[in-house]
Amino acid sequence: MLRMKQVLVVGGALLLGMGAVWAQQDSVKEVQSLMKGNGKNAGAMSAMVKGEKPYDQATVDSALAQFEVTAKKLPNLFPASAKGVKLDGDYSPSSKVWEDKAGFDAKIASFAKVVGEAKTKIKDLDSLKATMPAIGRECGGCHETYRIKNG
Between 5 and 149, name the residue whose CB sits nearer to ligand HEC.
149
Single residue of 85, 93, 118, 132 touching ligand HEC by CB under 6 A: 93
Task: Confirm or reject binding of residue 131 to ligand HEC (CB under 6 A).
Answer: no
Binding-site string for ligand HEC from residue 28 to residue 67, where x marks contact by CB under 6 A and - marks none: ---xx--xx-xx--x------------------------x
Phi-psi region of 51 (alpha: psi -120 to 50; beta: other; left: phi over 0): left
Task: Confirm or reject binding of residue 91 to ligand HEC (CB under 6 A).
Answer: yes
Single residue of 48, 82, 98, 138 touching ligand HEC by CB under 6 A: 138
Phi-psi region of 60 (alpha: psi -120 to 50; beta: other; left: phi over 0): alpha
Dihedral sign for Cα atoms in the order 86, 91, 96, 99:
negative
Return the range that interacts with ligand HEC (CB under 6 A); candidates 6-14, 53-61, 126-134, 141-149. Answer: 141-149
Task: Confirm or reject binding of residue 132 to ligand HEC (CB under 6 A).
Answer: no
Between 19 and 43, name the residue whose CB sits nearer to ligand HEC.
43
For the chain, the distance separating the N- and C-terminal CA atoms, rounded to the nearest angstrom, is: 51
Between 55 and 146, name the residue whose CB sits nearer to ligand HEC.
146
Q: Are 74 and 108 in contact (CB under 8 A)?
A: yes
Q: Are 24 and 82 in contact (CB under 8 A)?
A: yes
Q: How far apart, in whole angstroms, are the C-alpha atoms of residue 39 and residue 143? A: 12
Q: Where do contacts with ligand HEC occur on this chain (CB under 6 A)?
A: 31-32, 35-36, 38-39, 42, 67, 74, 87, 89-93, 97, 107-108, 111, 135, 138-139, 142-143, 146-147
